Structure 1
C-alpha cells in the first residue's frame, strides 16, 4: 500500500434519501471517516407506481448533490474520487437517463446505476467491516425505500445475495391506506412480505441461520426508539448494539395503534420517518417471525461504506479486495488502526499485550474467567497508552475516552466498555465504585475488569523499561502465594521493581501473595 493519503466521497442516491460519506485512507491508520451528511428528499416519491421521477424531486436532488460536492471539495476530495451510485427508485425510473444527464451537466458527477444484486454485494462489503460475521451463517438485511437486500454469509463468504422490491416507501405507497394502519392493511403487507422473502427464508433454514444483522436508517431508528423506551441514551453509536425480539414486540405494539400526529411525538423517531416506520416495523416483525430470529444486531456500515471499500481496494490494485477476505479479523484491524491514529508506541504496546496474555494463561486456574475476556485483555493492553496522544498527564483516562469514542469496529458496546475500563485502570487508582461508569457495569463485567486491569498493571510494570526484556513468564503456586518466574534477556532489576509496585491490586483480586523472581 502506498503512503499517500487518499480522500474519497461516496454518494448513495437512495429512494428515501441521498447520503454522502467522506473518508480518508492512509497506511496503518486505515479508513477514517471525515464527514457524513444526508438529505431525506424522497426522490422516489410517487415514482414507484408511475415509474417517472418527479420534476420537483429531481431539482431537489440536483441541488443536494451540488451541496454535497461543495462539502467534498472543502474536505480536499478530488473530483475523480467522488463516486456516486443510484439504487431502486432511479434504477426503475423510465426517465433515469434524463436525470443522470442533468446531474452530470450541472455537477460533473457521473452516477452509476447499480443492480439489486450489486447493491446487496456492496452492503455485504460494508457490514462485514463493521460487525464480525459469525462462524455460522448470519442473515444480513438492509431496508431501503424501494428495496430490501438480503445476504446470508459466514466467515468463509457469501451464501445468498438477493434484492427484493419491498422497501418501506414502496410498501407505504402501495399498502398503507389507513392511519392508524388497520388490521386489513397489516394483513396484506404481511402476506406480501412473506411471499417475497420465501427463497431467503428457505435458504436460511437450510443453513441454520440464528442471528440477523441489520443496516439502514429504518433499523437504526427502531433501535433508537427501543433504547428510548428502555430509558437509555439514544445519541450514541449503535454499531454492534442489539435488540431482542421481546424488546421489539413491545415497541411494535406501542407504535402501530398510533396515528401520525401521535407518532411524531415519540422520542427517538426521526421526524421524516413518521410514516415510513409503520411498514418498517411490520417488515422487521416478519423477519423475526419467518427467520425465527431472537436478536438483531445493528451495523453502522452499509452501502456507502461498501462502495468506499470496493473503490479503494480497486484503485490501489490489490489482487483481492481486502474488505472481502474470508476470516478477516476486523476487530484486530480496527484496534491497530486506532493505535496508529494515536501515534502509539507499537513495540511497547505489543510487548505489554504479549506479557498480559502470558499472565492471563498462566494464572487461568486463579482467575477462572471465560475465554472471550482473553481477547479483550489483549486489545486493552494494545491500547492502554494511546491517551498519551492527548497528554502524558492522566493518559490512562484519556486512553479510556479515546477507546470509548474511537469507533472500534466489530465490538459490542459492552465489550468496548470493558476494554476502556481495563485500559483506564492500568495505572494510578484501581477500579472503584466511586467511578459511576464502573459502578454501572454488570457484576460479571466488574470482576473481569478487576482481574484484567490487575494483569495489565503487572504486565505494564514488567515492560517499565520499554526494552522488551521479559521473554516469558511461568507461575508456581505455593499455598496462598504465587511465584512468577521470569526469563529475561538481561538483568530485570527495573522491571521487577516496577512490577512490585503495581502488583497489589492483582494480589487483592486473587487473594494471593505474588512474588517475582528470575528463572
Structure 2
C-alpha cells in the first residue's frame, strides 16, 4: 500500500480569465475504496480551475458494509492520509480548515460508529468529516452533469437515466429536458457484490452467475422506478465506467460526453471478469483500487444497457469532487433552477396524496412573501425559504390518511418520502414545519423535534410560525389574498392586504394562528384590509 498520495488524472474543466480575486480550496472524498482529494482555484464569477487531484486506497467499505463499523485500524489509516493531504495543501497555501471540505459517502454514512470516527479525525487533524446522504450526492451529480446533458441534442430533449454504480450503492436520476423526474438510491455496489461472492465461497465459474443474480434484483426495481414507455438514454457516471471508456474510446475530450457502444462495453466486461486483479493492473494500467471493483461495476452497466435495449451508453467524466468544488464556488447556495426542481418534486408527492393544490400553492406563495418581507426578523437564508416553501406545499398532505390529526400524518409522510435535492435532515425539518402549522407548538415530549440541535429547532420554530400566518391568510381557500405588505415597529407586525375590502374571516384565523409567531419573534400580529 502506497505511503504517499498518488496523483490522479485531472483535467481543467473551465477556462479562467486573469483575476485579482482568487481562492484556493480543496475537497476530500472519503469513499468505500479510496480517499480522493481535488485542489482548485476559484475565480470571480464562480469559475473553477482544477490544479491537482490525489488518490489513496482505503478499505472502509469492506468492513462498513459487513460489520456496520469502522475499525480503529481503518480510522487511523484515514487520519494518516488526511495528514499527508494537509502537508500537500500547505504547499498550496492552505493552512487552516476553512477552505477544505471533507465528505464521507456510503461507507462512512452506514457505519454505526461514524460519530466516534468523525470525532477522532477532528481531534487528530482539525477537519470536520461530513457524511453526505444520497440526496446530497444526487444534488451534486445534478449540478455537475446538467450542462453536459443540455449541450447534447438527443439528451436535452429526451429522457435520460443518470446512473453511478459505486462501491456501496447505485445512485439514479431520471431527467427529461433538464428537469428531474425522480431520484433514488439502490443497495447495489461493487464491493457489496464482491462480499456476497466471498461469503458464498464461489469458484471462478460461479462468480459471474452470482453477480448477475444480484444485478438482476436491482434491474427489476429499476423497471418499476423508471415507468413510462418513452425512449430512455443511459448516462453513466463513475470511475469504473470512465476507465472502460478511456480504453475503448480513443478521442474522448475532457468535459464532453463520450459515446460508448454497448457491444464494446460487453466485450470488455467479459474480458475483465476472466482476469485477476494483478492481470487487470498490468494489462489496463489500472490501479489496484480500480482492478478490484472494475468487473462487477462494468457488468452492472452492461446488463442495464441490454435491459433497456440500448445500442450505446453516454459516459460523463464529471465526478463528486468537481461537483463539490462547484458547490463551494457558488457559496453552497441553491440556484433558481435547482430550487424549481425541488418544488416540482414536492408537487409530485402532493399529487400522489391528492392534496388541495390550489390552496397549497396559495399558502406557499404567501409564505414566500412573508419570508421575503421579514428577512430582518428571521435572519435566514434562501435555503430556508425553499424548505418553508416545500413545507407550505405539503402541510396538508396527511389529509388522505386522517383529517383530524393530519398534521401528524404529514410529518410521517414527508419524513419517509424521497424528495429530490433534500437530505434526510432537511426532510425532517420540512415535516416538522408542516407538523406545527396548526394546534400545539413544539413540545419537549416530541421526539423528532428534540432530536434536532438547538439552532435547527429555532429555525423550525421560525418557519412554522411564518407558515401559520400564511395559512391564516388563505383561511377561506379562495386564493383571494395575493399581495401583502408587512411593517414592523418593534412590538407589532402589521400585515396590510391591498385591494381586499373585508378580511374579517382572515382576522379570526390570524388571531388563532399568530401565537407561535409572537412567542418566537416577540411581535403581535395585526391584519388590516388595504385601502380601496
TM-score normalised according to structure 1 size? 0.56
- Native 8 Å contact 2:34 2:289 kept in 1: no
Partner of residue 106 from structure 2, selected from 69, 75, 88: 88
1:32–1:50 CA distance, 2 compared to 1 (3 A): same
For 2:282 and 2:209, locate their aligned partners in 1 and report how far apart those are by CA, in whole Å: 26
- Native 8 Å contact 2:208 2:273 kept in 1: no
- Identify the residue that residue 349 of structure 1 maps to in structure 2: none
For 1:321 and 1:96, locate their aligned partners in 2 and report how far apart those are by CA, in whole Å: 34
SS at match of 1:151: strand
Per-residue CA distance 1:299-334 (angstroms, 9 max, x = gap): 22122222222233235x5x72678898xxxxxxxx
Aligned residue-pair number: 318
For 1:3 and 1:138, locate their aligned partners in 2 and report how far apart those are by CA, in whole Å: 40
- Does 175-184 or 213-222 show the bigger shift? 175-184
- Native 8 Å contact 1:16 1:144 kept in 2: no
- Identify the residue that residue 123 of structure 1 maps to in structure 2: 141
Q: 1:113: how far off? A: 0.9
1:291 aligns with 2:318: no
Q: 1:238: how far off? A: 7.8
For 1:266 and 1:65, locate their aligned partners in 2 and report how far apart those are by CA, in whole Å: 31
1:89–1:4 CA distance, 2 compared to 1 (3 A): same
For 2:120 and 2:164, locate their aligned partners in 1 and report how far apart those are by CA, in whole Å: 29
- Native 8 Å contact 1:239 1:300 kept in 2: yes
- Identify the residue that residue 41 of structure 1 maps to in structure 2: 58
- Native 8 Å contact 1:180 1:256 kept in 2: no
For 2:147 and 2:236, locate their aligned partners in 1 and report how far apart those are by CA, in whole Å: 13
1:71 aligns with 2:105: no
Structure 1 gaps of 5+ residues are 327-519
1:154 aligns with 2:176: yes
- Native 8 Å contact 2:109 2:133 kept in 1: yes
For 1:7 and 1:289, locate their aligned partners in 2 and report how far apart those are by CA, in whole Å: 43
Q: 1:224: how far off? A: 2.7
For 1:181 and 1:299, locate their aligned partners in 2 and report how far apart those are by CA, in whole Å: 34
- Identify the residue that residue 167 of structure 1 maps to in structure 2: 189
- Identify the residue that residue 217 of structure 2 maps to in structure 1: 195
Per-residue CA distance 1:178-233 (angstroms, 9 max, x = gap): 99964533233223222224343344351624322222211112223334xxxx48
1:15 aligns with 2:37: no
- Identify the residue that residue 269 of structure 1 maps to in structure 2: 286
- Identify the residue that residue 27 of structure 1 maps to in structure 2: 44
Q: 1:72: how far off? A: 2.6
- Identify the residue that residue 442 of structure 1 maps to in structure 2: none
1:176–1:207 CA distance, 2 compared to 1 (3 A): farther
- Native 8 Å contact 1:218 1:280 kept in 2: yes
For 1:23 and 1:261, locate their aligned partners in 2 and report how far apart those are by CA, in whole Å: 33
- Native 8 Å contact 2:235 2:314 kept in 1: yes
SS at match of 1:258: coil
For 1:88 and 1:139, locate their aligned partners in 2 and report how far apart those are by CA, in whole Å: 21
Q: 1:161: how far off? A: 1.3
1:309–1:321 CA distance, 2 compared to 1 (3 A): farther
- Native 8 Å contact 1:211 1:294 kept in 2: no
SS at match of 1:46: helix
Per-residue CA distance 1:399-429 (angstroms, 9 max, x = gap): xxxxxxxxxxxxxxxxxxxxxxxxxxxxxxx
- Native 8 Å contact 2:21 2:43 kept in 1: yes
- Native 8 Å contact 2:193 2:214 kept in 1: no
- Native 8 Å contact 1:244 1:295 kept in 2: yes
For 2:336 and 2:58, locate their aligned partners in 1 and report how far apart those are by CA, in whole Å: 33
- Identify the residue that residue 57 of structure 1 maps to in structure 2: 74
TM-score normalised according to structure 2 size? 0.54
SS at match of 1:91: helix
For 1:12 and 1:325, locate their aligned partners in 2 and report how far apart those are by CA, in whole Å: 28
Q: 1:247: how far off? A: 0.8
1:99–1:130 CA distance, 2 compared to 1 (3 A): farther
Per-residue CA distance 1:267-290 (angstroms, 9 max, x = gap): 243333223222112211221122
Answer 1 or 2: higher relative contact order, Cα 8 Å, separation at least 6.
1
1:222–1:323 CA distance, 2 compared to 1 (3 A): farther
- Identify the residue that residue 447 of structure 1 maps to in structure 2: none
For 1:251 and 1:140, locate their aligned partners in 2 and report how far apart those are by CA, in whole Å: 21
1:28–1:52 CA distance, 2 compared to 1 (3 A): closer
- Native 8 Å contact 2:47 2:329 kept in 1: no
SS at match of 2:28: strand
- Computed over aligned residues only, the root mean square deviation of the Cα atoms, in angstroms, reads 2.9
- Native 8 Å contact 2:236 2:313 kept in 1: yes
Q: 1:32: how far off? A: 1.2
- Does 17-26 or 204-213 show the bigger shift? 204-213
SS at match of 1:211: strand
- Identify the residue that residue 303 of structure 1 maps to in structure 2: 320
For 1:238 and 1:178, locate their aligned partners in 2 and report how far apart those are by CA, in whole Å: 41
1:111 aligns with 2:129: yes
- Does 80-89 or 41-50 show the bigger shift? 41-50
For 1:297 and 1:135, locate their aligned partners in 2 and report how far apart those are by CA, in whole Å: 15
For 2:203 and 2:261, locate their aligned partners in 1 and report how far apart those are by CA, in whole Å: 24
For 1:4 and 1:22, locate their aligned partners in 2 and report how far apart those are by CA, in whole Å: 17
For 1:322 and 1:36, locate their aligned partners in 2 and report how far apart those are by CA, in whole Å: 30
SS at match of 2:62: coil
For 1:325 and 1:313, locate their aligned partners in 2 and report how far apart those are by CA, in whole Å: 17
- Native 8 Å contact 1:179 1:259 kept in 2: no
- Does 299-308 or 126-135 show the bigger shift? 126-135
Q: 1:86: how far off? A: 0.8
